[in-house]
Every structure is written in C-alpha cells, then in structure tokens.
Structure 1
C-alpha cells in the first residue's frame, strides 16, 4: 500500500496498558466512524505496515484506544509509539455534494466571484493553524484560507471551486 492511496488517520500518542494497548489521537470530527476497523497501516520507516485490531474503543473525545493482535507488551508498544496511522482512501466516509476532502479538490480550477479565473488548486496546506488553498496562477502562488464563508460553490463534476473572497486578497499576491 502506498501513502498516496491512503489518508492520515492519526498518531499513536501513548501507551495505555502493560498489555500493549495504545492511544491514537485521531484526525477526524467523527471518531465513532472508525470504531469498527479490522486493521490499519502504520508508517514504519516510510513503509506502510498492516496491523490487525483485536479491539477498539473511544477514550475521551478523540482518542481511540486500540489493542493490536501483534502488540502484546509494553516493549512492543514502544516500537510503534509516535507512529502515524493510515487507511485506504476507500475507507473515507461519503460526503454530501457540497462537502469535500482536501485530496479531492487538487487540480480543480479556481474562480472568484469578483476576480474571475484565479488558477489551479495545487494543494491544501493543513499544517498551519488555518488550512490554506495553494493556488497556482501562471507560476505565482496564491494562498486563500479554507473557510466556509469563502467557498461559494463546489462543482465536482466540472472540477471547479467557486470562491467569494474579500476584495484585494487575491490581488495582493500578484503585485
């Protein structure tokens, strides 16, 4: 399995018991939808290795308590501590037509209500406190905050993201 075919589910943040249970901080608004998983992929030295789940439960709000079949001691758990978990893209829950996952909109044409054609959406930077659309306009990068108020319409069939951003936001990248 390649990372490009997967989505980031979360990170192992701590051990939970001396029997090898671990806690995963999930990167989701809906942790309940991941309680019935049979397995996950763990990034071990840039390779995604499958681990099979013996049992899982929610711990606090967005922590998932997992017991893997292969992990039976604290020492085993130490090997996977701070590692990232991934699932195949096919495991993503279906979204409504006006919702999207970041990976789905890469390559979409971006237009703005006032400005017109902006460019092509190259990526979404979600490593900052505010996620940003990274748009390429003839070699120049335009950054637009991912904000529901700025998204006017999403046209998935035609691959167009229609924005309505504050006046001057796009122009400041072009001067």
Structure 2
C-alpha cells in the first residue's frame, strides 16, 4: 500500500496501559466513524505497515484507545509511539454537496463569477490559518482562500469549482504580467 493511496487518519500520541495499548489522536470531526476498524496502516521508517486491531474504543471523545494484535508490552508500544496512522482512500466517507477532501479536487478547474476561468488546482495549502486553493494559471500561482462564502458550487462530475471572490483578488496575482 502506497501513501498516496491512503489518507492520514491520525497519530499515536501515548501509551495507555502496560499491556501495549496506545492512544491515537485522530484528525477527523467524526472519530466515531473509526471506532471499529479491523486494521490500520502504521507508518514505520517510511513504510506503511498493516497492524491488526484486537480492540478499540473512543477515549475522552477525540482519542482512540487501540489494542493492536502483537503489541503486548510497553516496549512494543514504545516502538510505534508518535507513528502516523493511515487508511486506504476508499475508507473515507463520501461527502455530499459542496464538501470535498483536499486530495480529490487536485486537477479541478476553478471558474470565478467575475473573472472567468482562473486555472487548475494543483494543491491545497493548509498550513495557514485558512486553507488556500493553489491554482496554476499558465505558470502563475494564484491563491484563493477556501472560504465557504467564496465557494459557490463544487461540480465533481465535471471537475470544476465555481467561486465568487472579492473583485480584484485574482488580478493581484496577474498585475506583473
């Protein structure tokens, strides 16, 4: 299983018991969707290794307490501490309407109500306070905040996102040309 075929689910943050149980912090608004998994991929030394889950339950609402098969001791648990957890993309719940996962909109066209066709999404920058569409327009990068007020419609079948940005925002990136 390759990382690009998976999504980041969370990270093992601490040991829970001397029997090898661990607590994982999940990167999701709906941790209950992942309470009854059979297996999960653990990133170890750059490889995704499948681990089978003996039991798991939510702990203090956002942490998942996991008992893996073959992780029996504190030393075993130490060896996977701080490891990232991944699941295959097909485990992602389907999103309806204008909701989308960042990975699924790469390559979508962006059309602005005032400006017209802006370009193609080549990535999402979510390292800032507000996530940004990274759009390529003939080699020029245009950043548009992923703000609900700006996103008019997400047309998944036609791989197009319609936006309504403040007038002049897109032109700021094109003034030097």
TM-score, with length taken from structure 1: 0.96
Secondary structure of residue in 2 paired with 1:152: strand
Q: 1:50 aligns to what?
A: 50
Distance (Å, rounded) in 1 between the aligned partners of 2:139 and 2:163: 20
In structure 1, list runs of 5 or more residues that go unmatched. none
Aligned to 2:161: 161
Structure 2 residue aligned with 1:173:
173
SS in 2 for 1:28: coil
Partner of 2:68: 68
What does residue 112 of structure 1 align with?
Answer: 112
Distance 1:128 1:39 in 2: 32
Number of residue pairs matched by the alignment:
175
1:29-40 matched pairs, under 5 angstroms: 29-40=29-40
Note the residue ranges of structure 2 that are not aligned, 5 or more in a row: none
Separation (CA, whole Å) in 2 of partners of 1:127 and 1:16: 30
TM-score (norm 2): 0.95
Stretches of 4+ moved more than 6 A in 1? none
SS in 1 for 2:165: coil
Mapped to 2, the partners of 1:146 and 1:24 lie a distance apart of 28
**What value does the CA root-mean-square deviation take over the aligned residues?**
1.0
CA-CA distance at 1:126 after TM superposition: 2.0
